[in-house]
Chain A
Amino acid sequence: MAEVFWPPQGSASLLGGEHNRIDGLAKCIGSAKYAYDVVPDNMLVASALSCPHAHATIRAIDLNAARNMAGVVAVEPLKKEGDEIRWEGDLVAVVAGETEAAVAEGLAAIKIEYEVLDHFVDDTDLDAATEANVTRPAGRNTQLQNRDEDADQEFERLFNEAAVTFEGHYGINVITHMCLETHGSTCESQGDKLVSHLSTQNVSGTPGQIAGPIGLTAQDVTVHCDYIGGGFGSKFAADAWGVTCAQLARNTGRPVKYMLTRSQELKNAGNRPSGFLRAKIAADKDGFVTAWDSAHWGTNGTSGAPVSQGVIPYVFNPPNRRRVATGIRTNTSPARAWRAPNHPQGCAITQTAYDDVARHLGLDSYDVFLRNLSTVGERAPIYEDQMKLAAKLMDWKAKWHPHGKGGQDGSVVSGLGMAIHTWGGGPHASRATCKIHPDGGVEIFLGSQDLGTGTRTVIGLVVAETLGLELEQVSVQIGLSEYPSSGPSGGSTTVGGVSESTRRAATAALNLLLTKVAPRLEADANQLEAVGGKIQIQGNQNRNISWKEACGQIGISPIEAQGEYAPRVTYPRNYDGKRLTDNGVAGVQMAEVAVDTETGVVKMKKFVAVQDIGLIINRKTARSQIYGAAIMGIAYALFEERIMDKATGAFVNAELADYKLPRLGDTGEIVVELYEPESEYNRGVIGLGEPPVISPGAAISNAVCNALGKRVSVLPITPQRVLEAISGGA
């Protein structure tokens, strides 16, 4: 019988190869249908009205004029009289109509009277927030080597005895998810059944979220999402707009499309919390950090939570550490999970401080990071290995100069920086059904989704590898909530979850087939294997039958087998046997930049990412995932930020023209190295979505600091911030 565990490294037919996406062509030629592309006959379009105030209560709301507008079919209030609006752009009412023009006229006819209230949107200044009484304590924590000592006295001693002591200020602004496809859905209602073509990261989990509020049960709602134009953690829920679209479809008996506008998307549908930090740091002469004393703050919107204490400082765990966290409540929309929640901010506001240790001591940043690896735990040797690889790819030693001491080409100076990161990436719960048809056809079904990462291709590769077939012979069916349930795609959990359930389902199906084929080959099923499109006696290519012939033995009903991964059940606690998937990775990134000291423009010259992810299923899409992460990281390091107007409380750059994202010409050369020694391969599959997006902020900030000899404190490092740092920064 076929073995469920992965073949030894180097012996797989397809796993670890370079494979094009099976849906690449459909995406390139536009035949791939996203939620927005679904246009049923007789469809209504819907759009929402946004509140122009950052903080207000609704005194009166009158929808009658909108309802009577020609071409308007339905108006659905999202707020009622007396409701409090807590951020600018919050959605108040939805109009559905025959045309976009009719909807626009309907929205313009809605009459709302607001009582405008005081607002607060400045998350950068802790003192101002404290004075405005919008802060809340978010924890404090002290760790001392000499546990019995008084903390204040002990820190004073440590700072006095250190070779270097300095204070630093670091920050990273709020960014939005900026999904290219805005949030929303197209809904079709048929009697008591409803189909929602929802742009979602959570196909299996959203039917129930839609059903309850519209008076149906989950079994009556089907969620369908073949393709999604970006989620990054913001599309786990059906959301008010998904439910309202379903409600409108139910009420009108007609299909309805309701997608957020770009501005509404940015103002409502997800952002990453900010992080600001003041720290006092002590280090020995070799750059080993002996004491870390920090206060950090930030906002996640109206509830006021900062970046988690757990990432302060990030990856490194200095022997003496005190951290105080404060949240700031702002009149801004609630944050949502953004690719590796907490980690990019933690990395950006603390590994910059570690780089400043090198700056203050005149040391090579590489050596300081290396020196502090003794505090990172069991992955220290992996980091060291990866640092060597990255340095070689960057030619670090040849290019390095002490901070601010490099040569100048006209007004341009260059610099190097690095950062390291970690993430879990263990699998989510997943079920799969594999069917082998009597005519040789193979299908795999999962209620999972492909966020654009190549999940569909990975699933196909696992099935093909398991059955000894080519990728093209497998039909991958995902994106429908009627399929066996699979977890939401977040936290780098998908590739592990789906490859584990798929491998188990395909192996179980194959073993059923081997049992049917064994008499034909006059062998025991245990002696058989599926290789190269054949079923054969293990190691004996002469005794075989073709796949198609083998499937002819199935009978009239297809073989159908299930596979499942259940967290903590599949691998119980303390399990130390063979495994298909695992959790926990490292990663090292390095950046090289050129900075124009007259204009403040930072240009990416080169970016190197070294990443372990356990066993690699598709080398090509894995690399693509890291390219994408590097570009996203360059975006938040140098360009994108939410800009709030303190006077009005408005999010002033909530359009693509004003919310700066890099163009490809801004990203420079990106070099990706997948780190897969046998020891990592043998751990099985681990997720990759989050880890490579963590380090770019710190690595690029450190490179700019190395170029200038001065720290640009807050990300993104805009030209203006660069010039301000040159003229007066620390």
Chain B
Amino acid sequence: MHSFEYSAPHSLSDAVSLLAQAEGNARPLAGGTDLIDQMQTGRFRPALVIDIKKLPELNVLEFDGDGLHLGAAVPCYRIYGEPRIVQEYSALADACHIIGGVQIQSRASVGGNLCNSGPAADSTPAMIALSAICVIAGPGETRQVPVEEFCTAPGENVLRRGEILAEILFPPRPANSGSHYRRFIPRNEMDIAVVGVGAFVELEDDGQTIKTARIGLGAVAPTPLLAEDLSASLSGKPATDSTFVSAGEAARQIITPITDMRGTAEYRKQITGVLVQRVLATATARARGEPSEYKPGK
């Protein structure tokens, strides 16, 4: 790894100033699980590394009338360790449970996962499904961007020079709703998603009809996707296996996966269909309060 300067400011405003002054030659460090590896391989050679993982503003984990405020540097283990997140934002907890192993989960943050902006990031489709909003601090006004609009290309996002992702806001969970994230990997754990699917399902009071749904897709396009039309088309449909199978078939048509060493485009389309079907079924079961049969790696 190359030589670099390291700074650990005490406030978000100091971090923003440092970042702005560095004129693009600095990287923020939260858990560092991506950044350190990228510096070791020479992909990034920042002159300055700004450690933001202890900033209080980036470590909030609070519920209020707006929903869940999740600081961008909160590590995965705190997220899946919070019972209300497991209960109300299950897809997020699912994703945090399967990012790396225990050691990685103790360091890695959802904010970092998003800012790394990889197409296969596990938490992003989950956050898309949960309608999460990015709260971005910078030299100017704080601004908000929906998660599905955050990533712009592999490794790129909407952050401007000097801006830091401070918080992710998750709206309150509606009644009769459930969510789930699942990815496909060739082995049972610790791997990069070939395809990742997050889904949110809200049922009518009858528990049989889909009121709203949101599907986030990972690793099937240059950025994680919101399957907007597909999601909308599920409203009013019966929450049955045949609906889920059709949704899976439709999902295959809207993605533009690449062929790489993890799988061909054709293969990713097949897996996307299967996962959409299975994830919708699990999210629906959770919306009904039924026990979920899902276990990572099974």
| B34 shortest CB reach to chain A, Å | 11
Are A657 and B192 neighbours in the complex by a CB distance under 8 Å? yes
Are B271 and A599 neighbours in the complex by a CB distance under 8 Å? yes
Please measure, in the bound complex, the distance between the C-alpha atom of A650 and the C-alpha atom of B157, giving whole angstroms: 29
**Interface-lining segment among A131-139, A297-305, A661-669:** A661-669
Nearest residue (CB) in A for B263 is A720
B positions within 8 Å CB-CB of A: 1-3, 42, 184, 186-192, 261, 263-264, 267, 270-271, 274, 297
Question: A101-B1, A104-B2 given as contacts; is B261 within 8 A of A652 (CB)?
Answer: yes
Question: A599-B184, A660-B186 given as contacts; is B264 within 8 A of A720 (CB)?
Answer: yes
| A564 shortest CB reach to chain B, Å | 47
What B residues does A598 contact at CB under 8 A? 270, 274
A-B contacts, 26 listed (Cβ < 8 Å):
A101-B1, A101-B2, A102-B3, A104-B2, A105-B3, A108-B2, A598-B270, A599-B271, A639-B186, A639-B187, A652-B261, A653-B261, A660-B186, A662-B187, A663-B187, A663-B188, A665-B188, A665-B189, A666-B187, A666-B188, A718-B186, A719-B267, A719-B271, A720-B267, A723-B267, A723-B270
What B residues does A100 contact at CB under 8 A? 1
What B residues does A108 contact at CB under 8 A? 2, 42
What B residues does A652 contact at CB under 8 A? 261
Please measure, in the bound complex, the distance between the C-alpha atom of A639 and the C-alpha atom of B185, giving whole angstroms: 11
Nearest residue (CB) in A for B192 is A657
Contact with B along A443-464 (1 / 0, CB 8 A): 0000000000000000000000
Interface residues of A, dominant DSSP? loop
Please measure, in the bound complex, the distance between the C-alpha atom of A514 and the C-alpha atom of B263, giving whole angstroms: 69
Contact with B along A710-730 (1 / 0, CB 8 A): 000000001110010000000
What A residues does B188 contact at CB under 8 A? 663, 665-666
Q: A108-B42, A662-B187, A719-B263 given. 19 additional CB < 8 A pairs?
A: A100-B1, A104-B2, A104-B42, A105-B3, A108-B2, A598-B270, A599-B184, A599-B271, A601-B186, A643-B261, A657-B192, A658-B192, A658-B261, A660-B187, A660-B191, A663-B189, A665-B188, A666-B187, A723-B270
| B73 shortest CB reach to chain A, Å | 23
What A residues does B184 contact at CB under 8 A? 599, 719
What A residues does B261 contact at CB under 8 A? 643, 652-653, 658
What B residues does A718 contact at CB under 8 A? 186
Number of interface residues of A (CB under 8 A): 24
What A residues does B267 contact at CB under 8 A? 719-720, 723
| B184 shortest CB reach to chain A, Å | 6
Nearest residue (CB) in A for B296 is A665
Nearest residue (CB) in B for A104 is B2
| A335 shortest CB reach to chain B, Å | 21
Are A101 and B3 neighbours in the complex by a CB distance under 8 Å? yes
Pick from A105, A601, A639, A663: contact of B190, CB under 8 Å: A663
Please measure, in the bound complex, the distance between the C-alpha atom of A601 and the C-alpha atom of B188, giving whole angstroms: 10
Nearest residue (CB) in B for A718 is B186
Nearest residue (CB) in A for B262 is A658
What A residues does B264 contact at CB under 8 A? 720
What A residues does B187 contact at CB under 8 A? 639, 660, 662-663, 665-666
What A residues does B271 contact at CB under 8 A? 599, 719
**Contact residues, A633-648 vs B (CB, 8 A):** 639, 643
| B87 shortest CB reach to chain A, Å | 26
Contact with B along A99-114 (1 / 0, CB 8 A): 0111011001000000
Please measure, in the bound complex, the distance between the C-alpha atom of A224 and the C-alpha atom of B102, giving whole angstroms: 35
Are B189 and A599 neighbours in the complex by a CB distance under 8 Å? no
Nearest residue (CB) in B for A652 is B261
| A121 shortest CB reach to chain B, Å | 14
Please measure, in the bound complex, the distance between the C-alpha atom of A723 and the C-alpha atom of B273, giving whole angstroms: 14
Please measure, in the bound complex, the distance between the C-alpha atom of A657 and the C-alpha atom of B263, giving whole angstroms: 15
| A197 shortest CB reach to chain B, Å | 24
Contact with B along A599-611 (1 / 0, CB 8 A): 1010000000000
What A residues does B297 contact at CB under 8 A? 665
Please measure, in the bound complex, the distance between the C-alpha atom of A530 and the C-alpha atom of B262, giving whole angstroms: 62
Nearest residue (CB) in A for B189 is A663
What B residues does A719 contact at CB under 8 A? 184, 186, 263, 267, 271
Please measure, in the bound complex, the distance between the C-alpha atom of A663 and the C-alpha atom of B264, giving whole angstroms: 24
Are A105 and B263 neighbours in the complex by a CB distance under 8 Å? no
Pick from A104, A599, A662: contact of B274, CB under 8 Å: A599
Please measure, in the bound complex, the distance between the C-alpha atom of A660 and the C-alpha atom of B186, giving whole angstroms: 8
Please measure, in the bound complex, the distance between the C-alpha atom of A102 and the C-alpha atom of B187, giving whole angstroms: 38
Please measure, in the bound complex, the distance between the C-alpha atom of A198 and the C-alpha atom of B190, giving whole angstroms: 31
What B residues does A723 contact at CB under 8 A? 267, 270
| B102 shortest CB reach to chain A, Å | 13
**Contact residues, A688-729 vs B (CB, 8 A):** 718-720, 723
| B15 shortest CB reach to chain A, Å | 24
Nearest residue (CB) in A for B3 is A101
What B residues does A657 contact at CB under 8 A? 192
